[in-house]
Amino acid sequence: MNARRAIFEIYLDYVQYYGGSIRLRSLLALGQELGLTTTALRAALCRLCRQGWLQASSRRKQSFYALTEMGLERVEEAAPRIFSPHVEKWDGQWTMLTYSLPEKLRPHRDRLRRELTWLGFGPLLPSVWISPRPVVELTLRHLGQRQLDGFVHLFRARHVNSLAYDELAEKCWNLKTVQKQYVKFTRHWEPEWQKFQARFNAGDPPNESVCFASKMRLLHEYGKFLHIDPGLPSELLPAGWPGTTAWRVFRECHLLLAERALNFFDRHFEGPPETQPQQNEGRQKALHNVYESSAQRV
């Protein structure tokens, strides 16, 4: 597992509901349950703080790590895309972005491209990116936080030449690779889900630490689609899109493991005193998110 992503996913799946802050000792214990070393976890925490996703604080010689405003925003954006994805009917319009960065800001281009990929844009040309979603305001907010908004131009437009929509989508996004990854995910996790289901049905569920680690690995593997699948509307997807099946497998397995995994997290979680009211409601909020997402359909 990637240590930075695993830490972020612990916040996504648990800590955000418990006040957004967790004691270092707790975070290290949870990470070690996933097979991550203390050295890797500490290095990942330092990098997440430098990048502006987390912030460290101390209380009576105890260290805590909390989501920053930017980190909380990213968690709030990621959660619905993972747990209850829904793509509205497409209106046929594209959001088009062009950018030009001066040579002295060349290192920022990779950061800009990563942010555009997160937002679901694909490169039509090296400096021209498009998205079928109406994300002008969201894009400007993201780039403004990173001081990159002054180098872009955004438009809403329609595509009018002879290139078919599916050909245009394949030009901007490597959908064949995404399809293969969804199939690979399903082939691995559908049998795992069925094994877990059989044990629960037999009255012999896995112990809580196994449920926690398995649920986090499930999230870790499914979470990569946030970075490679732009969430295109059905009009732009190939027939028989495997992402639908993959999400259903993810949802059912996540739901099955949720309560026992949460029991394990509860035993290891420590937060700062000032978030005690949120901590008291954390379990209920976390479970509500799980059960609410289980009722969703793609």
Per-residue pLDDT tens digits for 86-125: 667 888 999 999 998 877 777 788 888 999 999 999 999 9
pLDDT at residue 298, as a whole number: 44
| Residue 296 confidence (pLDDT) above 60 | no
| Single-letter residue type at 85 | P
Region of 297 (left: φ > 0; alpha: ψ -120 to 50; beta: rest) is: beta
- pLDDT score, position 145: 84
Q: How far is the CA of 82 from the CAs of 48, 117, 201, 254, 274, in angstroms?
A: 21, 16, 27, 11, 30
Name the packing angle between helices 3-13 and 69-83 (round to 10°).
80
Residue 89 is predicted with a pLDDT of 83
CA 217 from centroid of its chain's CA atoms? 13
- pLDDT bin (cut points 50, 70, 90) of residue 232 is very high
Average pLDDT over residues 154-165: 86
Q: Average the pLDDT over 50-69 and give the result.
A: 92
Q: How many CB atoms lie within 10 A of CB 95?
A: 21
CATH number at 1-86+173-298: 1.10.10.10
In the prediction, which pLDDT does 295 show? 60
The span from the CA of 33 to the CA of 209, in Å, is: 8
The pLDDT value recorded for residue 160 is 86
% of the chain beyond a pLDDT of 70: 97
pLDDT for position 146? 82
Q: Where in the chain is the domain with CATH 3.30.70.240?
A: 93-158
For residue 294, pLDDT beyond 80: no
* Average pLDDT score, the chain: 91
Cite the residue boundaries of each domain of the chain with CATH code 1.10.10.10.
1-86+173-298
Architecture per CATH, 93-158: 2-Layer Sandwich (3.30)
Residues forming a β-bridge with 156: 95
Mode of pairing for the β-strands spanning 21-23 and 93-99 = unpaired
Q: Which helix (H) or strand (E) element contains residue 169?
A: helix 165-172
The Cα–Cα gap between 261 and 213 comes to 8
Sheet strand arrangement including 54-59:
21-23, 62-67, 54-59
Tell whether the model's pLDDT for residue 260 goes beyond 80.
Answer: yes
pTM of the complete model: 0.90
Q: Is the pLDDT of residue 162 over 90?
A: no
Q: Name the residue with tokens 């967790």.
A: 22
Please give the C-alpha separations between residue 217 and each of 1, 31, 228, in angstroms, as whole numbers.
8, 11, 18
Alpha carbon distance 151, 225 (integer Å): 28
Using an 8 Å Cβ cutoff, are 13 and 219 in contact? Answer: yes
Instruction: Please report how many Cα atoms fall inside a 13 Å half-sphere around the Cα of residue 154, on the Cβ side.
Output: 19
